[in-house]
A = this chain, B = another copy of it.
Amino acid sequence: MSHDFIVRLHDTDAAGVLFFAHLFRHAHDAYEGFMASLGQPLDGLVRAGCRLPLVHAEADYVCPMCHGEAIRVAVVLAALGETSFTLDYRFEDGSGALRARARTVHVHLAERGDGDRSAAALPEGLRVALDATPSSPPDEGATTARLSTTAPKWTEQPDG
């Protein structure tokens, strides 16, 4: 499943390229498209009281994205657990070159008797739908691998 967007002026900053935090906004747009493609639109889940907050998000920036560029975000399920799932995102330009990657980890929080929420088994419909999606291709790396093990294109491996 993929999501397309154009880098808009408000995505960029005075340094002339996409401001890093906006990548996560686009990843979340792709996540919403992914959920809709599963027949599990996020707006319906939220309205029904279902909460799937992120407990982790990360991104690697491979090559700056500039105003006006057309970007495609491919979303794949990277891991499916009892109470959580992990999605991987590849941001590619029109020539198919990798520009950035991102990962988000979502946990299902259910209300407890005391009004608080705690992690609970994923809703059955969502679990089945996620389980039926194509899994991450092998060359995407194991889900336990850190995203940033591949060196960014315009940098040496950060040496810190």
Contact = CB atoms under 8 A, between A and B. Distances in A.
Interface residues of A, number: 68
A105 interface: yes
Copies of this chain, how many? 4
Contacts of A58: 56-59
Interface in A1-47: 6-10, 12-17, 19-22, 24-25, 28-29, 32, 41-44, 46-47
Given A53-B64, A158-B55, A159-B84, A21 B14 contact: no
A103 to B, nearest CB: 9
A82 interface: yes
Contacts of A54: 20, 61
Nearest to A69: B43
A156 interface: yes
Interface SS, A side:
mixed
Nearest to A27: B21
A119 B155 contact: yes
A57 to B, nearest CB: 5
A160 B118 CA distance: 17
Interface of A: 6-10, 12-17, 19-22, 24-25, 28-29, 32, 41-44, 46-47, 51, 53-61, 64, 66-68, 78-86, 104-105, 107, 109, 116-119, 143, 146-148, 152, 154-156, 158-160
